[in-house]
Amino acid sequence: MLKMLRQSVIALVALTVITGIIYPLAVTGIARGVFPHKAGGSVIVQNGKAVGSSLIGQPFSDPKYFWSRPSATSPEPYNGAASSGSNLGPTNPVLLKAVQERIAALRAADPGNTRPVPVDLVTASGSGLDPDISPAAAYYQAARVARTRGLTLEQVDGLIARFTSGRWLGVLGDPRVNVVQLNLALDSLAGSSTK
């Protein structure tokens, strides 16, 4: 009995050291060596200051910015420590009410826009942290952003095209637009056009 207990404790300690210390350090070291930007959180730095991450969405509600996909994390939106979806089914009245409120907010911000609202502007992703929207969701907001910033629609459409990423290897995933990077480029464009 004592021999089995000793072997169990040795196995526990050995596996704890291997899987809890050696393996995570090795994976982290390899990631930092091979993919340093991604391993560091894909932080976006401007003027020496971290302004966001290209991997985690941020809330935008000002009409002069493109709005992100809604977040279902709690206790606040886009909480990287609490990644989760809403887990509400498509017929759930709470989800339907939230979608209707989001549509109303988009319509209020751009009353002249009568096109159908893209689904990714009114529903959260599975993680609640999605930094990207579909090109359709970006183009849906383009006229509002151009008008509030005093830019031409062609300038804004050009930025959307520039920040649209295609399918991985040409076949996997969907085209997408990173909202944080697009909004930062908008700020730079607006800043350079006012000089």
For the chain, give every domain's residue range.
1-40, 43-193
Comparing 19-33, 136-150, 179-193, which segment has the lowest mean pLDDT? 179-193
Comparing 12-16, 43-47, 110-114, 184-188, which segment has the lowest mean pLDDT? 43-47
Q: CA of 43: how far to CAs of 21, 22, 39, 49, 127, in Å?
A: 26, 26, 10, 10, 19
Q: Which of 193, 155, 157, 161 is nearest to 176 (CA)?
A: 161
What digits encode the pLDDT tens for the residues 58-100?
889 899 999 999 988 878 888 877 787 778 888 999 989 999 9
Q: How is residue 163 written in tokens? A: 């920040």
Distance CA 173, CA 151 (A): 31
Helices (H) and strands (E) in the chain, counts: 7, 5
Q: CA of 140: how far to CAs of 20, 47, 105, 120, in Å?
A: 47, 31, 14, 11
Q: What is the pTM of this model?
A: 0.77
What digits encode the pLDDT tens for the residues 35-56?
887 777 778 888 888 877 888 8
